[in-house]
Amino acid sequence: MGEHTLTLDNLNPNVKVMEYAVRGPLVIRAGEIEKELEKGTKKPFNEVIKANIGDCHAMGQQPITFIRQVLALVTYPPLLDDPKFPEDAKQRARTILAGCRGGSVGSYTDSPGIEVIRRHVAQYIQERDGIPADWQNVVVSAGASDAIRNVLKLLICEVNGKRPGVMIPIPQYPLYSASLAEFNMPQIGYYLNESTNWGLDVSELQRAISEARKTCHPRAIVIINPGNPTGQVLSRENIEAIIKFAYKEKLFIFADEVYQHNIYAPGSKFYSFKKVLIEMGEPYSKMELASFMSCSKGYMGECGLRGGYAEVINMEPQVKAMYLKAISAMLCPTVLGQACLDIVMNPPKKGEPSYELFQKEKNEVLESLKLRAKMVADTFNSMEGFSCNTVQGAMYAFPQMKLPPKAIEAAKKAGKAPDVFYAFELLENTGICIVPGSGFGQQPGTYHFRTTILPQPDKLKGMLDKFAQFHKQFLSKYS
Amino acid sequence: MGEHTLTLDNLNPNVKVMEYAVRGPLVIRAGEIEKELEKGTKKPFNEVIKANIGDCHAMGQQPITFIRQVLALVTYPPLLDDPKFPEDAKQRARTILAGCRGGSVGSYTDSPGIEVIRRHVAQYIQERDGIPADWQNVVVSAGASDAIRNVLKLLICEVNGKRPGVMIPIPQYPLYSASLAEFNMPQIGYYLNESTNWGLDVSELQRAISEARKTCHPRAIVIINPGNPTGQVLSRENIEAIIKFAYKEKLFIFADEVYQHNIYAPGSKFYSFKKVLIEMGEPYSKMELASFMSCSKGYMGECGLRGGYAEVINMEPQVKAMYLKAISAMLCPTVLGQACLDIVMNPPKKGEPSYELFQKEKNEVLESLKLRAKMVADTFNSMEGFSCNTVQGAMYAFPQMKLPPKAIEAAKKAGKAPDVFYAFELLENTGICIVPGSGFGQQPGTYHFRTTILPQPDKLKGMLDKFAQFHKQFLSKYS
């Protein structure tokens, strides 16, 4: 033979074109540099700071004690007899175990998750919105990404001979562009308005969809609120306008609301799409909507446990049956991820032994993130050629930078986009790993990057100082 | 509006056609019956016995202590100070935590898994086969299903204007038929030979591929060894013949080897496809092969934790880069599933404090499964109109039954396939839930079902007695 049966020429073409910048070449290089440092290679820095990914614990955030206690209890039930574990943690653990077949987290669950956990999710949503939620509309998943892809793939179908398009924000979280590429669904980018703190203009939605209708059949709109990578929190009025637009254009709404706990700016408040849509009354309250949530963000930051859910409302019943059938081939989401979700949905209540510690740990994380959100935006705004919108929520800043023409030329020579060139220079000189704006999308001719606000306060300050110093040198080198 | 934007008419057509019998209508009905029993509805039985799915702990199998201890330790590290946990469990936990960013299982890992765990997998494979294994060929996954689908989707590409076909055994595990349907890849069924204990005849492979070449481009062959649902263990000679066939036909080999620990019959021995292929030397040793393993089966049966891996050898390097890129959009497999895999790959060694308990628990499970494998086959063989091959391995029996013409007529009237009709009658009358053969595929005109051998010995005996009684009544009703 000598030759391979699977080659670049006959590889899935959708896989070839997909990109996932948050884990792209820059991150691969960062990993290499880490290994070089381990081997003792001399660099102008001692460590790589991974500000490229919303990976809370990796950046030193401590897990919430109560979550980990319940997980240890369900994993190793002999601990239920250990007096060191608080009673409310044991009660949560017993409830979860009672929902597991054979009383073991090692059993498969129903594909949409353990019933009692789905009920806790519905209760959480109901309390959050003040609107009834049906546990049978809740589908538990291995993180929000899994849930998003499972709903998205239902829409893969040509309509009137046209490919199914999905509206996504630009800049966007690259899970969407990567999944749409894999599913061979055209992406219809709508630009967020940087001059109104990444607001969402209906006129821009209209422009984007009108143009897209020439070549595809728009079927859905994705909104990320609070925004990733942009950090904005949408106002209720803005959400209403988007819902009206989606109604007029017959779009299925994907509300990516995984940062719903991460609201920092004074005056900003989280409204779920479900709440607004239901409160708008008919006909809007009958629209199809999927809302996504995750254990990976918020105050818990349990990215590695892979817990999340979709709440899907107003789906046509036969379609819903097909949706549930489609997820069944993957058996079930990880039970320990489900257990983590259960605790986030059903945290210690006032009067329970763990209540105070839980609240303290939760508030400390959120308060600290709030300070860091401001620190990051303020620092970038103090740097020459930078402008950074207020980080109202989520875990990221997405500053714009003006690059000198000579830098743009140097990038061209290096065969890189200017923002990618800048990010590589930053990485090689300081160890700071960010994601260039082109990985998320940006207005042509503008240059951005996404940085998380997750390094712990001291480290973040050090990182921003190094960043400012690098930027000065970069400017003087290329001016 | 009044109408839905997503309807059966414009739903992903691949989702519409996919079927996953292990969780199909029969299992849904079983769930309903369970709820009816809870509510006090009178039935001729007190409980539903789920013999439809290889869900070990659900059927009363106890978790392996050492696995759960390590998982509790990595989840809640303060337990590392608890003297009740053995030192070797703590050592394993420390190694895993050292591989986690920020020392937390709540951090994302590299998409193909934590490096030290990949190294342990490679070491396990090396010891199993006596052949070197490269940790960089190991991709950790959320169960084997996840790994299989991720490799399978690389092959979605028309070749010479023909759709990409994949050879799968009939009967097969429906993950394959469901995934191929979802990916719109033609399935090329090759029949296993029931008269040689579900052996694999190369002449049948040849017949199947020759016929398929008229309409599609065969790209890969799936072999399940030990067999699911058929329980056979392939001989080394059989594996060699299959490899030669795959070489001649330029097929990518998928070796589903998740039951590699589950070997029961005297004289049966597990040979990995990798071992055989490498030992055959060139040109075979250069062939592309993906082998899959899981924490859900074996002696551990940790289905709910979702741990597994693929070892992919001889993949073209650029293709491998694309494969790794494609999985990165899903971030990473659950870290606790990875941790479980780590322990299965690196169990307590002789001399370590947990060695004896671990061996005892492991051997008890496997010995008991061995007895049950024999009990199930013997019982079915003693029943009128049944014939059941030896369950050499895995966790299932797939007996054939002759159904009387009147039963076949009654099934037709009920609009059901005869084996489905039988399975529903069995469920409604006894509470026993099995999966009809048509969910896996069978020779036209033959009727089978799959039952697991997993109910605990007493319960299994009771189940088989009830089954035999039902069958007698069924025969007398329809004769």
Q: Where in chain A is the domain with CATH 3.40.640.10?
A: 98-345
The pLDDT value recorded for residue A2 is 52
d(Cα B390, Cα B398) in Å, to the nearest integer?
A: 10
Contact A58 B16 (CB under 8 A): no
Residue A36 has pLDDT above 80, yes or no: yes
Judge contact between B96 and B70, C-beta under 8 A. Answer: yes
For chain A, percent of residues with pLDDT exceeding 70: 99
Average pLDDT on A351-358 reads 98
Q: What 3-state DSSP class applies to B224?
A: strand
| Average pLDDT, rounded, for chain A | 95
Average pLDDT on A162-167 reads 97
For chain A, percent of residues with pLDDT exceeding 90: 93
Bridge partners, residue B451, by sequence: B397
Contact B72 A76 (CB under 8 A): yes
d(Cα A241, Cα B175) in Å, to the nearest integer?
A: 43
Average pLDDT on A109-135 reads 97
Kindly list the residues from chain A whose CB atom is less than 8 angstroms away from the CB atom of residue B455.
none
B79 touching A, CB under 8 A? yes
Select from A75, A111, A251 the Cβ nearest to the Cβ of B72.
A75
Give how far A109 is from chain B: nearest CA, Å.
Answer: 7
The pLDDT value recorded for residue A23 is 66
Bridge partners, residue B311, by sequence: B138, B291
Contact A8 B154 (CB under 8 A): no
B357 touching A, CB under 8 A? no
User: At what angle are helices B115-129 and B335-345 packed, to 10 degrees?
Assistant: 30
pLDDT tens figures, A317-349? 999 999 999 998 788 999 999 999 999 999 999
Contact B102 A59 (CB under 8 A): yes
The pLDDT value recorded for residue B23 is 65
Per-residue pLDDT of chain B (479 residues; tens, 9 = 90+): 458 999 999 999 999 888 766 667 888 899 999 999 999 999 999 999 999 989 999 999 999 999 999 999 999 999 999 999 999 999 999 999 999 999 999 999 999 999 999 999 999 999 999 999 999 999 999 999 999 999 999 999 999 999 999 999 999 988 999 999 999 999 999 999 999 999 999 999 999 999 999 999 999 999 999 999 999 999 999 999 999 999 999 999 999 999 999 999 999 999 999 999 999 999 999 999 999 999 999 999 999 999 999 999 999 999 999 999 999 878 899 999 999 999 999 999 999 999 999 999 999 999 999 999 999 999 999 999 999 999 999 999 999 999 999 999 999 999 999 999 999 999 999 999 999 998 899 999 999 999 999 999 999 999 999 999 999 999 999 98
Contact A6 B288 (CB under 8 A): yes
- Which residue of B34, B38, B80, B157 to mutate against A (max A Cβ within 10 Å)? B157
Cα–Cα distances (Å) from B182 to A265, A266, B187, B258, in that order, read 44, 47, 11, 22
**Interface subset of B 15-54, CB within 8 angstroms of A:** 15-16, 18-20, 23, 31, 50, 53
Select from B79, B283, B334 the Cβ nearest to the Cβ of A306.
B334
Judge contact between B263 and B226, C-beta under 8 A. Answer: yes
Question: Across the A/B interface, how many CB contacts are shorter than 8 Å?
Answer: 287
d(Cα A1, Cα A397) in Å, to the nearest integer?
A: 52
DSSP state of A101: G
pLDDT band (50, 70, 90) for residue A1 = very low
Q: What number of other Cβ atoms are within 10 A of residue A266's Cβ?
A: 7
Contact B2 A283 (CB under 8 A): yes
The H or E element spanning position B222 is strand B217-224
Helices marked H in B251-351: 273-279, 317-328, 335-345
Residue A157 has pLDDT above 50, yes or no: yes
Task: Give the chain B residue nearest A148 (alpha carbons).
Answer: B330
A371 touching B, CB under 8 A? no
Kindly list the residues from chain A whose CB atom is less than 8 angstroms away from the CB atom of residue B110.
31
Q: Which two tokens stand for residue B317?
A: 């390097």
Q: Where in chain B is the domain with CATH 3.40.640.10?
A: 97-345
Amino acid identity of residue B475, one-letter, is: L
Contact B58 A104 (CB under 8 A): yes
Kindly list the residues from chain A whose CB atom is less than 8 angstroms away from the CB atom of residue B1.
247, 250, 283, 286-287
Would you call the peptide bond into B78 cis, given omega within 30 degrees of 0 as the criterion? no
DSSP state of B259: T
The pLDDT value recorded for residue B22 is 63
Residue A88 has pLDDT above 60, yes or no: yes
Task: Give the chain A residue nearest B283 (alpha carbons).
Answer: A1
Judge contact between B118 and B140, C-beta under 8 A. Answer: yes
d(Cα A74, Cα A70) in Å, to the nearest integer?
A: 6
* Residue in A162, A158, A168, A157 with CA at minimum distance from that of residue A215: A162
Give how far B218 is from chain A: nearest CA, Å.
Answer: 11
The pLDDT value recorded for residue B1 is 43
Select from B13, B157, B250 the Cβ nearest to the Cβ of A13.
B157
The pLDDT value recorded for residue A3 is 83
pLDDT tens figures, B135-156? 999 999 999 999 999 999 999 9
B321 touching A, CB under 8 A? no
Give how far B274 is from chain A: nearest CA, Å.
Answer: 17
Question: CA triplet B132, B135, B140: central angle to 5 degrees?
Answer: 130
Residue A216 has pLDDT above 90, yes or no: yes
B184 touching A, CB under 8 A? no
A6 touching B, CB under 8 A? yes
Kindly list the residues from chain B whose CB atom is less than 8 angstroms away from the CB atom of residue A247.
1
Task: Give the chain B residue nearest A219 (alpha carbons).
Answer: B5
Class of A98-345 in CATH: alpha beta
Give how far B268 is from chain A: nearest CA, Å.
Answer: 28
Judge contact between B351 and B86, C-beta under 8 A. Answer: no
Would you call the peptide bond into B229 cis, given omega within 30 degrees of 0 as the criterion? yes
Give how far A1 is from chain B: nearest CA, Å.
Answer: 6
Q: Where in chain B is the domain with CATH 3.90.1150.10?
A: 8-60+363-477
pLDDT tens figures, A250-270? 999 999 999 999 999 999 999
Residue A27 has pLDDT above 50, yes or no: yes
Task: Give the chain B residue nearest A61 (alpha carbons).
Answer: B102
pLDDT band (50, 70, 90) for residue A174 = confident
Class of B8-60+363-477 in CATH: alpha beta
Q: What is the CATH number of domain A8-60+364-477?
A: 3.90.1150.10
The pLDDT value recorded for residue A457 is 93
Q: What is the CATH number of domain B97-345?
A: 3.40.640.10
Q: What 3-state DSSP class applies to B212?
A: helix
Select from A14, A56, A319 the Cβ nearest to the Cβ of B7.
A319
R_g (Cα) of chain B, nearest Å: 23
